[in-house]
Amino acid sequence: MPAGQPALAAALPRFKIALPVAALAAMFGIIFWIRPAIFSYFGIGLLLDLAMPAVFASMAQMCVIAINDIDLGIGPFISLTSCIAATLLVRAPAAGLLALAAAIGAYALMGGLIHVRRLPSIVVTLGASFIWLGCALLLLPSPGGGAPSLIAGFVNLSPPLVPLPILVLAGAAFLGHLLLMRTARGAVLRGIGGNAKAVEQAGWSLARGRMLLYGIAGACGVIAGLLLDGINTSGDATVGAQYTLTSIAAVIVGGGEFVGGDVSPVGTVTGTLIMLLTGSVLSFVNISTSWQLSVEGGILIVVLGLRALARTA
């Protein structure tokens, strides 16, 4: 950190979490102002339905970004797990559970491979994305299948007072914060991204740390796939494709950094909601959905650009 700007540097972390929260509040304000009818139990439930799988996609990406890696395969991986849920888990639950466990194991192994052979995560996860998509297409060549009644039942729950998506989002943020920010092991895992050498000299295994984080990412991907299948009540080999960009954007918009293990579960949940609601706002003001990707990419660029400017200011 160059000298002469301590005040700004010290203010940056707080500024980083306050900004997305304020942005999210403003977006809710705009949505309720355009469509007052949404401000109800069912309206909010509908609005945030798809935030449930999206938030776990972002959590998966956050685990990978926490060790300075990036996962370009999470979207197709979620497609695959939703296809497993839509086919195997319905027809042969035991085989389905085994396949989901194997998928998580494959993710952990991928982390191990990246660590042991010092490979660029971007190329390995991109290569793996072909494997996930290939497996998904073999399982489900065209959209179809069903959803296990347990999962379909869960996503249709109507808890009293608070809509289900809000409970799920709050739960994910709380649990993520507890595990990653408040436990010793969580601090060590984030430390790998901050200073790998120091973590290693303190006696921790970097290989095990990376495998653990990739394993958790895989587990989050599985949860996202299950929720997505429950909501759609069918599987599709391309249904998760958009999560690759959205999840990266969510982590960054929520205040996370690409290097240094500087990520936050609460910020990631906030970032996910911002990305999701952007789509809703666009459709409310009649902007064609073909520009949705542009807007997501644009938000990412603007946030990163502003952050770079704040650093050099």
Partner 1 sequence: MGQRFANAPRWIWSYLAAAVVYLAIVVIAAGAGSFQTFSIALQFATFFVIAGLGQMLVITAGPGNIDLSIPGVMTLAGYLATGAMHGSNAGLLSGLALGLLIGLGAGLFNLALIRLLRIPPMVGTLASGFIYQSAAIAYSSHAVTQPSPLLAAFTSGRVLGVSAMTVLFILLTAACAVGLQRTRAGRAVLALGQNRRAASLAGFRVGGALSLVYLASGLLAAIAGILLAAYSGGASLDMAREYLLMSIAVVVIGGTSIAGGDPAPPGLWGSAMLLGLLVTMLNLLHMPEGVRLIATGGVIIGVLAVATPQGP
Site residues for partner 1, window 263-292 (CB under 8 A)? Answer: 288, 290-292
Binds partner 1 by CB under 8 A, chosen from 172, 248, 263, 269: 248
What is the enclosing helix (H) or strand (E) of 34?
helix 6-34
Toward partner 1, which CB reaches closer, 168 or 210?
210
Using an 8 Å Cβ cutoff, are 77 and 129 in contact? yes
CB of 192 vs partner 1, minimal distance in Å? 19
The stretch among 40-48, 113-121, 178-186, 267-275 that binds partner 1 (CB under 8 A) is: 113-121
Token duo for residue 157: 């729950």
CB of 67 vs partner 1, minimal distance in Å? 15
CA nearest to 236, candidates 126, 80, 90, 100: 80
CB of 166 vs partner 1, minimal distance in Å? 29
Angle, vertex CA 66, rays to CA 296 and CA 131, nearest 5? 70
Task: Print the SS3 string covering 97-140.
Answer: HHHHHHHHHHHHHHHHHHHHCCCCHHHHHHHHHHHHHHHHHHHC
Toward partner 1, which CB reaches closer, 65 or 169?
65
User: What is the identity of the amino acid at 259?
Assistant: V
153 binds partner 1 (CB under 8 A): no
Using an 8 Å Cβ cutoff, are 266 and 177 in contact? yes
Q: Which residues pair with 235 in a beta bridge?
A: 144
Binds partner 1 by CB under 8 A, chosen from 13, 29, 134, 144: 134
The stretch among 49-57, 110-118, 179-187, 223-231 that binds partner 1 (CB under 8 A) is: 110-118
* Contact set with partner 1 (CB under 8 A): 70, 72, 113, 117-120, 122-124, 126-131, 133-138, 141, 245, 248-249, 252, 258, 288, 290-294, 296-298, 300-301, 304-305, 308-309, 312
